[in-house]
Amino acid sequence: MRLIAANWKMNKTVKETEDYINRFLQTFKPADDREVLICPPFTSLYVASRMLSNSPVKLGAQNCYYEKAGAFTGEVSLPMLKELGCSYVIVGHSERRHIFGESDELINKKVSACLEEGVRPILCVGEKLEDREAGMTFKVVETQVRLALSGLEDYVDQIDIAYEPVWAIGTGVPATPEDAVSVHRFIRDLLKDLNPRSEGKTRILYGGSVKPSNAREFMKHPEIGGLLVGSASLDPDSFAKIVESF
């Protein structure tokens, strides 16, 4: 089953979240071949959880901390997120890596904590423009995947991976479907190398300037196991069109 996930980033108040979900649930058409996920900001998780509780739409968080509790001002733990009904957490998004300085070691701890708590992580990987221009795409992606999953190779069938080229996020210039497929195949082969028993069990999503006008082109390719949608998911009608783009 493919996964279509909305990452709202730092957008929408509680009231705006209520308005969005009301509108989205009016237009959303459930289907057995896709799973739909919404990841609001932390402040909107409670109201989103309440409104989505009787719908097939899943709830996720945009980040987490790896400790269960403690003196970690400003952080949010996985038990807190589980209590709100979050079944997914985005981990290692490029904005967390490059704006907030999250290291591969920290991301590895977060993935491990998600697995321990039974919350499915969506691990984000992807290269910057200078990496792409230097021909380092595969090397950067391999390093990020291997370090994030170090010591967790037996559990790669319990995660999803989102390939999000940094140069395509929010720029309006997505990777071509062919470029995305080549990296997805590379990640698939890498996962097979890490754990041959898990072959084909990890969904690999594409993210980076996905919109209603190009979603169908990405979803034509069986190597692409879903989409992680940013700015185009902020409008409920736009996101509904993407969900229906199969």
Confirm if 152 and 111 have CB atoms less than 8 A apart: yes
The alpha carbon of residue 176 and the mean position of all alpha carbons in its chain are separated, in whole angstroms, by 19
Catalytic residue among 35, 95, 164, 184: 164
**Tokens standing for residue 128:** 């910057």
Nearest alpha-carbon partner for 225 in 174, 175, 176, 188: 188
Annotation marks residue 93 as catalytic: yes
Confirm if 218 and 177 have CB atoms less than 8 A apart: yes
Nearest alpha-carbon partner for 63 in 103, 99, 110: 110
Confirm if 11 and 232 have CB atoms less than 8 A apart: no
Helix/strand/coil (H/E/C) assignment for every residue in 136-186:
CHHHHHHHHHHHHCCCCHHHHHHCEEEECCHHHCCCCCCCCHHHHHHHHHH
Torsion sign, CA atoms 175, 178, 184, 187: negative
Q: How far apart are CA 12 and CA 8, in angstroms?
A: 8
Confirm if 245 and 229 have CB atoms less than 8 A apart: no
Annotation marks residue 164 as catalytic: yes
Catalytic residue among 35, 93, 102, 184: 93
Point out the residues that are catalytic.
93, 164
